[in-house]
Structure 1
Amino acid sequence: MKTNITPIKNEFENEIIDLILSIQQIEFNVPITLQDQPDLLDIDNFYYGSGGGFWGAFIGEELVGTIALVKFDEKGAAIRKMFVKKEYRGKEFSIAQNLLITLIAYCKENKIDDLYLGTVSKLEAALRFYEKNGFVRVEKEALPNAFPLMSPDNVFCHLPLKK
C-alpha cells in the first residue's frame, strides 16, 4: 500500500473535518468542536495565506492522515492538525513520520528556523513521537509571543531547524 502525501486545500474540507473530529472527539475524548476550529473551514486562507501549508496522506483515494503548518512570524511556525487514522499508525505505514518529514522539508525550503507545537498531555504516543524526532518540551511562557495558542493545549514543544 503506497502512501501519497500531497498539499490539500478547501476542496478536501469534508474529508479533513471527518478525519480530525472523529480522532479528537471519539478516540481521545478531547472536548473540542468544529466551531472551536474555524481554520478547518478556511484552509486556503488560514494555512496557505500566512506562508504555511496543509498536507494530506492518501492511500488510494482515502485520506488517512493530515499535518498543517501555521507560519506566525518571519522565521517561526507551528505544527497543527497532525492526525493519522488509528488503523494506519505505527512503523508499518510510517505515515506520521512521512508527514513530518514533508513539513520539515517545506520549512527548510522556506527559511523557517523554528518549529513549535502545542498538544494535550493525554496524547502520550504523539508526544513520544515528537520527542523521538528531536522536539524538546518548553514551558508555555517560553513560546514566542506570536505563537497561535489553542485552548486545549497544555504541552508545548520546540524543534530548532537551523543547525
Structure 2
Amino acid sequence: MGADPARIQLRPFEARHTAAVGELIVTIQREEFGFDIDLERQPDLSAIPAYYQRGAGNFWVALDQEQVIGTIALKDIGQHGVALRKMFVAADYRGAAWGVAMKLLHAALDWARQHAVRNVFLGTTEKFHAAHRFYEKHGFSQIDKTDLPASFPFMPVDTRFYLLNLRQTDASSPP
C-alpha cells in the first residue's frame, strides 16, 4: 500500500493515547537507537497533561486511523520559551511521501506562535543524524549547551542542542 498522507490526522494528546505513545517512543529509543531506557525512566510520559499541556506547552499525536504513528511536544520553560520534546515518528511513516514529521513540527510551531513563544529550544543526541538535518532544514541553529536557559529540561542522552528564534523566522514572513 502506498503512502496516503491525507489519512494522517494530528490531534492534541488525550488520556486514551497514553499506552500507544509510550510504546511508540520506547520502541524507537530502544530498538532503533539502542538506548537503555524504559517508560519508568520517562515519568513525563505518564503525566503528559501535567508536564506538557500547560502554559505555552502542548503534546500532539499523529494518527493513522486511530493508530499513534508520531508524537511531538512543547514544554513551557518560561520567559517566552519552550523546549521541543518527544518528536518521534514510526519508521513506516517517515519520509517526505508521508510528511508526518513536517506536519508535527508545523503544528507545534504554529501553536508556539499563537502563544507568544519567542524561542524554541531542543536537545538531541549525536545518533539522530536525520533529525539534525531535519531541524537545520527547518531553521533551527545549533547552539552550545551553555546557551540554553537554566529552565531547559536536560536529558542525560542529549549532547547536541538547537534554537529556533521565532521572531527572526517571522520577520522574514509577510505580516
Aligned equivalent of 1:159: 164
Pairing partner for 1:60 from 48, 61, 65:
65
Give ranges in structure 1 of 5+ residues lacking alignment. Answer: none
Report the CA distance between 1:33 and its aligned residue.
Answer: 1.9
Supply the AA of the counterpart residue of 1:153: D
Task: Indicate the SS of the match to 1:72.
Answer: strand
Q: Tell whether 2:140 aligns with 1:135.
A: yes
- Structure 1 Cα separation of the partners of residues 160 and 154 of structure 2: 11
Maintained 8 Å contact 1:116/1:158:
yes
Aligned equivalent of 1:77: 82
TM-score (norm 1): 0.97
Q: Tell whether 2:99 aligns with 1:94.
A: yes
Report the CA distance between 1:133 and its aligned residue.
Answer: 0.4
Report the CA distance between 1:108 and its aligned residue.
Answer: 0.3
Structure of greater Rg: 2
Pairing partner for 1:11 from 16, 21, 37:
16
Pairing partner for 1:113 from 112, 115, 118:
118
Q: Tell whether 2:38 aligns with 1:33.
A: yes
Give ranges in structure 2 of 5+ residues lacking alignment. Answer: 169-175
- Structure 2 Cα separation of the partners of residues 112 and 83 of structure 1: 22
Task: Indicate the SS of the match to 1:162.
Answer: helix
Report the CA distance between 1:62 and its aligned residue.
Answer: 1.1
Instruction: Give runs of ≥4 in structure 1 deviating > 3 Å.
Output: none
TM-score (norm 2): 0.90
Pairing partner for 2:150 from 130, 145, 149:
145
- Structure 1 Cα separation of the partners of residues 56 and 143 of structure 2: 24
After superposition, give the CA deviation of every residue in 1:21-77 in whole Å (9 maximum; x if it has no partner): 000001111222212210000001000134310000011121110000001003000
- Structure 1 Cα separation of the partners of residues 54 and 41 of structure 2: 20
RMSD: 1.0
Report the CA distance between 1:154 and its aligned residue.
Answer: 0.6
Maintained 8 Å contact 2:56/2:117:
no
- Structure 2 Cα separation of the partners of residues 5 and 48 of structure 1: 15
Q: What number of residue pairs does the alignment pair up?
A: 163
Paired-residue identity, %: 37
Aligned equivalent of 1:46: 51
Task: Indicate the SS of the match to 1:147.
Answer: coil
